[in-house]
Chain A
């Protein structure tokens, strides 16, 4: 990779001027003339048969254009899922409802207020059935929610059996044997990794415009996956993808919840085609809380076995993961992402079993980290419990068991290979920036004064940059939407006749700064100034085939494609410049907005002259075609495996149980960095989300299936006053998987932080003898643990 200051340097974001002036355009900001508005009638009960549904009064309200129920849309089938294990979601409730918030009827009206009035005029009666909410009860099949499935357990993932074709060895006997050793220390904990609501601050929104004269459908949506949504709409509406254009304009945060395709997106597109008018729906916050996917939702028992002197001998996890009522995009596959990193940064045999069960709640799917924060949480919490048991420093015990730099690529028991890493180096860096020994002294001094101060550490490795095409063999692909190979990424690089560059990529951001990072890649490769480059994204009609932003993949996949397209343009331009300069192509150097002959900076041409020659055609060297544009579609060979170690210092108020996060340190390694400013920003936000899970957030259904946390008042995400500033550093271990050596950073902060904070709180409570408190560590729960310990 070239090493100019453009690549790897801090460059202010090119997307910001519009956004800071209120001039950015999000989906709800678009309002074509005559746009109709949609509102949904949603179920107030968790499980029931619908015995009567009468929309006649709603239809009579002036300004109401249509009211649709299941019978109107049954022919479209249920909402498609990539992993169709479980019951698929009907577009509108099919005679029964299975969670609070399920869409029963859809109103289309001249404005939002009329649509809401009409929803309230729909009459519906229910014959209620017992709801199943508790995960262990669901797994017992005492009440089977979807009788036709025969069981609430949809699937069981095991470490060795998840992919039979690999013929993996079952390591369970090794782990069990280790537990029988005379010198074995066995530590076990039951822990909850609670259900979360993603809370993108921009509610989801979709605007569809069908043009009958052209047979063409244009859909704006707040989505992370414009190409996938185009494929989904085309498939469900029996259109060709050629006639469906999806545009993701500014997207106000995604965090995984906008990587699903939703029934509302299909219904709005269908209604626009039915009515021949633009139709728009924007969710309310209550709908965002109860009808947009949730994440996490696991209960599990984690067991670690090791020797008295800190050598791990094996790890076992037995868990249940909540799928919710219906399976959507990747629902049942999410635990698999955790399985691949079940052993974290450590070398040891693993036994890992997770049951996927149905409950009468909203569907779960990918939320920032998706399966990985859950897996790492259990592992890193039980490591701390083990360290405490044998009386060893928690960092030292981790260091004793890391994979060593010379062991990479390190093949795991689950068949994948960690690409590159130096776990000890990142941990060493953490000890330096946090002054670990000094921190421990400060903690001990505080303890001597009777204060409850604790330090927690946690390491992680994650898997991202999806993904290798081989994943399709286990059903991990986008084939349900007619996109068999769409773990691809893409990049188009065009030098325009005026010497500027246009870049079009197959992924679309939701805050990650693609316009800046991609301009840096192209500027670095061609020597075209950043101000002369514009990056387009998020339009399925104009972007080369890609898929979207999720799983920390954009840079590693679409970035690699763009890097390769840039190289191809440079190679061609070198031939053209060589002819113009009467030199050999291999002697051409690109810098400062043009090309010159190596060693003779005055023998040069600017990009405009090269582009003019390229498009003019008749002066080109032999064998070189007209134009100056290249498109690369890239499928990676392996995933990438970023890693890091975090540290938190907390103080617990013994009288109230309130936890204050005093200090937070993080060392993350995402390989090479294109823009360190953006990397830091991703880590900051990720940490905040992990802290949110550790301390505040809980998507809570009562046993009747009522969502008690349907607003931001009941579902508190962290505010500025809840957090300290973060102290970050990085190590750089480039990946060999792609030429830029980049791994991905979008999810790292979240995967690294929840267990770190909980470990710190448990450390703070250690003098009282508390060994575990389940998240979220709200004051009441911590206070109760203190009282119990003192009793």
Chain B
């Protein structure tokens, strides 16, 4: 398979999960494991451009696929606008759900460049966060969406004296 643009090949047990292959064989530890049941989304990666929960997929199922992880979305040292949005709008606290949340947000914005708040909330509802209450994650995605459209992002809601 190709991971973050680099070809990789390895022998693995048939039961090896894709997330364990990424984390333990390739040492790409930015993809996290939160629940092993496909519910929390911390392990979200892109397989051939689609968001996939890598704890529900065997490594062998991704044979020949093009896999992108959180380590692969910045380009030439420049943060992806979604990464920038999470930083600018305090879209993370402990950071554990963040890689999966960012991968889902990138996928959402690739299909909808002007999502409403409701569309953002439904677009990331497969990713659980226990720290932020999602308030600032919504703001982060709105920031990124504006940036990707070449527009000025909406002001942060803690600015202006509050």
Contact = CB atoms under 8 A, between A and B. Distances in A.
Interface string A677-691: 110110011111100
A17 B133 contact: no
A712 B35 contact: yes
Interface in B1-54: 13, 15-16, 20, 23-24, 28-37, 39-40, 42
Interface string B55-95: 00000000000000111001000010001001110101111
A684 B99 CA distance: 20
A55 interface: no
A136 to B, nearest CB: 32
A21 interface: yes
A16 B86 contact: yes
A10 B95 contact: no
A689 B102 contact: no
Contacts of B162: 676, 728-729
B144 to A, nearest CB: 11
B135 A726 contact: yes
Interface in A171-205: 199-203
Interface residues of A, number: 64
Contacts of B31: 22
B60 to A, nearest CB: 15
Given A29-B29, A201-B129, A20 B121 contact: no
B96 A26 contact: yes
A511 B13 CA distance: 36
Interface in B93-109: 93-99, 102
A511 B134 CA distance: 14
A668 interface: no
A288 to B, nearest CB: 8
B128 A719 contact: yes
Contact of B39 (A25, A711, A729): A711
A668 to B, nearest CB: 12
A687 B131 CA distance: 10
A723 interface: yes
Contact of B158 (A13, A680, A725): A680
A699 interface: no
B69 A255 contact: no
B130 interface: yes
Nearest to A692: B130
Contacts of B83: 20-21
A21 B79 contact: yes
A200 B135 CA distance: 18
B117 interface: yes
Contacts of A112: 20
Interface residues of B, number: 62
Interface stretch (A226-234, A245-253, A700-708): A245-253
A200 B132 contact: no
A530 to B, nearest CB: 15
Nearest to A681: B90
A22 B96 CA distance: 9
Contacts of A485: none
A24 interface: yes
A198 to B, nearest CB: 8
B99 A201 contact: no
A22 B30 contact: yes
A12 interface: yes
A113 B15 contact: yes
Contacts of A719: 121, 125-126, 128, 134
Contacts of A510: 94
Nearest to B29: A29
Given A21-B79, A201-B42, A678-B90, A252 B95 contact: yes
A15 interface: yes
B52 to A, nearest CB: 16
A502 interface: no
B37 A203 contact: no
Given A22-B71, A24-B95, A721 B130 contact: no
Given A684-B136, A711-B35, A713-B37, A689 B130 contact: yes
B137 A253 contact: no
A584 interface: no
Contact of B132 (A29, A252, A684): A684
Interface string A85-127: 0000000000000000000000000001100000000000000
A523 B144 CA distance: 30
B136 to A, nearest CB: 6
B138 interface: yes
B130 A685 contact: yes
Interface string A756-778: 00000000000000000000000
Contacts of A726: 133, 135
Contacts of B159: 10
Contacts of B29: 22, 25-26, 28-29
Given A201-B32, A252-B96, 12 more contacts: A20-B87, A26-B32, A201-B130, A252-B97, A511-B95, A676-B162, A688-B132, A689-B130, A711-B37, A718-B133, A720-B138, A725-B135
15 contacts: A16-B87, A18-B95, A20-B79, A22-B69, A201-B94, A511-B131, A677-B156, A681-B136, A686-B133, A687-B133, A688-B133, A712-B37, A719-B128, A720-B138, A721-B122
